[in-house]
Amino acid sequence: MSSIAVFPEAVSAAAADVANIGRALSAANAAATVPTTNLLAAGTDEISTAVASLFSGHGQAYQRLANQLMAFHDQFAQALTAGASAYTGAEATNASPLQTVEQNALGLINAPTQTLLGRPLIGDGAAGTATNPNGGAGGLLYGNGGAGFNNGATAGAAGGNGGNAGLIGNGGAGGNGGAGGNGGAGAAGGTGDNGGWLYGSGGDGGTGGNALVAGGTGGNGGAGGDGGAGGVGGDGGAGGVGGVGGDGGAGGVGGVGGDGGWLIGDGGAGGQGGVGGMGGTGGAGGSGVAGAHGGNATSAVAAFGGDGGAGGDAGHGGTGGDGGNGGQGASGGRGGLLSGAQGVTGTAGDGGTGGDGGLHGAFGAGGDPGTGGGQGSDGNRGADGLGGPAFDGARGADGNPG
């Protein structure tokens, strides 16, 4: 049996459009009546009179047909308007005190079992909320269990469990687990609860939370050693390799599907495991240390100090952490005793992506230049000049300084 949905407002708008079309056609037909039904002959001869009479007859026939069509159009517009009014009245009746009477009668039926056992006789269980994540149980005779609350927005929080059905009804679906924190595992999805004792399917398990946050970043590499002292300074040591990034957290385990009805009903499907977390980024390599100073000149003769040592090479970046393992898919619920298939086992979540390697460290600075050589000492005193034939020669000048 097929069913349709009707919007009273749309039917009323369509009836108004049809009425407007009818008024436009009536105005056009009235304007064409005189020119098409009473044509004047082109002349006084018999042929002109016959032609005018022929076309006037066609115009009169059109007007008779148009009047019949307008009568049908008016009937259709009236029926459409009446239908819109009937739909509007039905909507008003459904929202009338009759509906309140029905709810009050159902409340009287459910009051004893609600007071004694904490669940109604007929009716669906309430869905889980943030404060009460587990879904409510359905009616003892008839009713579906409430769905568990989805904790996807709360990190590390497990999904709510679905509510149990009564004698006839489907178990509530489990809620989805929350995502893991830094490097933490995603929370487990809620368990789908059991179907009705007589008839009903078990609720589907919730999806495990995704460990979406990356693992910790590895430590920085150690600094390189100093260059050796000497005439020419030694090269600085290479920087250490950066630390390995932390592993991503594992995805949450999917919720277990609820069992089918005791006699008839399919078991609920197991929840899907969460996605594993991304591995952490490797640490940056250590910076190379500056080269040693060049040695000082020690000779009395003019000399140059040694060159400064070259800076150490930068360390290599650390290795990225491994991606977390995907969460395990949960088992499907059992089928009914007489009839019903076992629920499908949930699929395992995807493994997390490995972390990126660390950046290369900065190069070491060049060594300082050596100091200049020491100043030379003064030259020795010059010898006396040789004696001439008549008198001794003059005293020799002092030697040039060193």
Tell me the pLDDT tens digit for each residue of 136-192: 888 888 888 888 888 766 666 788 898 887 778 888 888 787 666 555 566 666 676
Q: In CATH, which superfamily holds the domain spanning 8-95?
A: HP0062-like domain (1.10.287.850)
Torsion of CA 147, 148, 154, 158, to 10 degrees: -150
DSSP type of residue 21:
H
Collect all residues with Cβ–Cβ distance below 8 Å to 166 and sequence separation of at least 6. Answer: 119, 137, 138, 139, 140, 141, 142, 143, 196, 197
Nearest-5° angle of CA 334, CA 337, CA 339? Answer: 90
Looking at residue 67, its pLDDT comes to: 92
pLDDT in tens, 221-235: 666 555 554 455 555
Question: Is residue 376 over pLDDT 70?
Answer: no
CA distances from 133 to 119, 126, 156, 262 (A): 17, 10, 14, 26
Question: Is residue 391 over pLDDT 50?
Answer: no
Range of lowest pLDDT (85-89, 100-104, 216-220, 363-367): 363-367
Instruction: Name the more confident of 149 and 307.
Output: 149
Pairwise CA distance, residues 343 & 331, whole Å: 8
pTM: predicted TM-score of the whole model, two decimal places? 0.43
Question: Is residue 14 over pLDDT 70?
Answer: yes
- Domain-wise residue ranges, the chain: 8-95
CA distances from 281 to 220, 243, 301, 358 (A): 11, 9, 58, 6
